[in-house]
Amino acid sequence: MNVRTTLAAPEVLVVPTVAVQNDQTGQHVFVVKSDQTAEFRTITVERAVEGDSVVTKGLNEGETVVVDGQLRVLPGKPVVIKAADGEAAKNDDAPKGKGKGKST
* CATH number reported for the structural domain that contains residue 90 in this entry: 2.40.420.20
7, part of any domain: no
82, part of any domain: yes
Domain count, the chain: 1
104, part of any domain: no
pLDDT digits (tens, 9 = 90+) for 25-80: 999 999 999 999 999 999 999 999 889 999 999 999 999 999 999 999 999 999 98
17, part of any domain: yes
Instruction: State the distance between the two ends of the chain, measured CA to CA, in whole angstroms.
Output: 16
Where in the sequence is the domain holding 44, given as residue range(s)? 12-95
Taking a C-beta distance cutoff of 8 angstroms, is the pair 14, 55 a contact? yes
1, part of any domain: no
Q: From CA 96, how far away is CA 62, in angstroms rounded? A: 5
* Whole-structure pTM value: 0.72
4, part of any domain: no
Residue 69's CB: how many other CB atoms inside 10 A? Answer: 11
103, part of any domain: no
Which is more confidently placed, 98 or 61?
61
102, part of any domain: no
